[in-house]
Amino acid sequence: MSFEYILFDLDGTLTDPAIGITNSVMHALKKYGIAVSDHKELYKFIGPPLWDSLAK
């Protein structure tokens, strides 16, 4: 049996996406003049849809 495609679900099982997600959120917030000094403050953005998190 051969496979044409192999998919990896990188939701935290194989990798830790926290630093990438929090850095992205920090960058977006900085564009609006919002500074965040601690990545842990942004962990709430991991999981829920970004649209919902930014609305709050």
19 within 8 A of 39, measured Cβ to Cβ:
yes
| Active-site residue set | 9
DSSP, res 52: H
Question: Cβ atoms within 10 A of the Cβ of 30, count?
Answer: 11
The SS3 assignment for 36 reads: coil
